[in-house]
Amino acid sequence: MKRTIIILLFVSLFVTFVLSQIPDNDPELCQQRIQREDCPQTPVPWGTFNDNDEIEVYYMQAPVFEAVFGNFFGKLGGYHSAIGFYDLTTGLNYTAEYDAFFEVGNGTLPNIINVDGKDELLWCNAGILCTVPYINETYWDKNIYSTASKTYMGTINGTQLNQYIEWMQQYNISNPVYQTWDVWNNYGQDLFVPSTTCDDFTQQSIEHLGSIGINYNCSTVFKRDYINLFTEKPQPIDFTEHYDDIFKFYEAVLEIKEGSIAQIIERILSIIGLKKYIYVQGEYYLLELNYPFMNAKYDYITLPGCPANGIDYENGNFIHLN
């Protein structure tokens, strides 16, 4: 009797140990290698704008450098994006953007770390709103980086900017996790998991500004990047049961620790024999990839109030995972 209890106790301790995943974005274990000037940990508040201020809104894009994305993406048009505000009344400028706090590599793949002799997966995939009370004219300048651009989107007043600030702070709270992939059954139609990247933030910013009264010129070219994964419906799985396969998968993908998204895509595709997984909101899902498995696209977004010419998240066929 006693013996059974001890064995049961041992088994349950073991199970608890295996089950207890390390918390995501553990502040001790996740370390930013480079602290970005334009993403201060303690953001400078923009203050409150006078209702009558006249403010120009810009959609800003800059090339994501080779160091981050490699040639593959450069050729396709890999951009970082942000929203810029020029307050013509005060002469002050502002930038709002969203990014992976520990950079896109960590936003896309976990780290394998050893805890008490056992391998564990550590995710440092926090996403964060970055707001600075200036526009970095060097980074977003097409005279310096030929593919950078600032596209004038429209003019708002101070009341509208104050409303936008509330919205962006809410966005920051609702989107604490960066998600690189748009997970589709097929592109532009059946979406299982929407991405949460800089482009999602800028797109939703433009949509929100539309809903609070900005008028867009429908001739304005508005495009963004999509990093796509194609699969049958991802199946939620039990982490403990799939522990070995999940590790085999990430070990294979992480084999070369540093790499671009393009290299990550290539590596995932090359490990044909292994089961493939994705991590979404703290849960692992098993994937059954569909042709063309993965790709990246630079595609149109429909402007609010304009005829549809891009992916329509609102009216598209969004399939919930649970």
β partners of residue 182: 228
Which amino acid would we find at residue 61? Answer: Q
Binding piece for ligand NAG, criterion CB under 6 A, among 13-21, 28-36, 196-204, 257-265: 28-36
How far is 60 from 75, CA to CA, in rounded Å? Answer: 19
Binding piece for ligand NAG, criterion CB under 6 A, among 98-106, 180-188, 239-247, 289-297: 98-106
Q: For ligand NAG, which residue of 27, 47, 91, 117 counts as binding (CB under 6 A)?
A: 91
Q: Is residue 129 at the binding interface for ligand NAG, with CB under 6 A as the rule?
A: yes
Q: Is residue 138 at the binding interface for ligand NAG, with CB under 6 A as the rule?
A: yes
Q: For ligand NAG, which residue of 86, 123, 181, 285 counts as binding (CB under 6 A)?
A: 86
133 Cβ contact partners less than 8 Å away, ≥ 6 residues apart:
44, 46, 92, 93, 94
Q: Which is nearer to ligand NAG, 58 or 184 (CB)?
A: 58
Binding piece for ligand NAG, criterion CB under 6 A, among 130-138, 249-257, 266-274, 307-315: 130-138
Crossing angle of the two packed helices 243-253 and 261-270, in degrees rounded to 10 = 130
Minimum CB distance to ligand NAG, residue 97 (Å): 10
37-56 residues in contact with ligand NAG (CB under 6 A) are 37-38, 43, 51-52
How far is 18 from 66, CA to CA, in rounded Å? Answer: 39
How far is 310 from 313, CA to CA, in rounded Å? Answer: 9
Burial of 185: CB neighbours in 10 Å, binned 0-12, 13-18, 19+: middle
Total interface residues for ligand NAG by CB under 6 A: 36
Distance from chain centroid for Cα 170: 16
Binding piece for ligand NAG, criterion CB under 6 A, among 10-18, 123-131, 177-185, 237-245: 123-131
How far is 38 from 40, CA to CA, in rounded Å? Answer: 6
Token pair, residue 227, equals: 């990093």
The site for ligand NAG (CB under 6 A) is made up of 29-33, 37-38, 43, 51-52, 86, 91-93, 102-103, 106, 111, 124, 128-129, 131, 134, 136, 138-139, 157, 159-160, 169, 172, 176, 213, 217, 219-220
